[in-house]
Structure 1
Amino acid sequence: VVVTDMPYGRSTYVGNSRTDLYHRAFQALHRWLPPGGRAVVGLPDEQYIPSTQERFIREDAYALRAHRSLTRHFCVLRRP
């Protein structure tokens, strides 16, 4: 099992783009997890959730409002 809260790029520099960073992170998760392995991933916006469907089955998703300007989106993913 892997649990991670991805950098949101607000107070942390993430390089070229969040999309590129997340794409590379999901590639790495896919390599690390065995078939049937699970990951819980925190994302800053729902728009990034579909990017997980290339390599994972989304088992569940939760939105958690942290404060007025930030809602975290947590996904439970399984490698097929």
Structure 2
Amino acid sequence: MGGHEVDAFGIGTYLVTCYAQAALGVVFKLVEINNQPRIKLSEDVSKVSIPCKKRTYRLYGKEGYPLVDIMTGENEPSPK
């Protein structure tokens, strides 16, 4: 990320949008605490989380446009 670090997070519906604007519908799920994996179980399979830290990659084509986003486990090799 350009050599910058994130040192604060803000969470709230109207933190960056005004009341009249639609807010981004996002759900944060806990996946690890102190290097211990955590999972959310649910009868709705689409709501079950995948435990452990993850890394995300965006792969670009020869023209410079994004092609695909890939998510891997923290200890898995980077995509080539």
Q: Normalised by the size of structure 1, how large is the TM-score?
A: 0.22
Which has the greater radius of gyration? 2
Higher helix share: 1
Q: Which has the higher contact order (CA 8 A, sep 6+)?
A: 1
Higher strand share: 1
Q: Normalised by the size of structure 2, how large is the TM-score?
A: 0.22
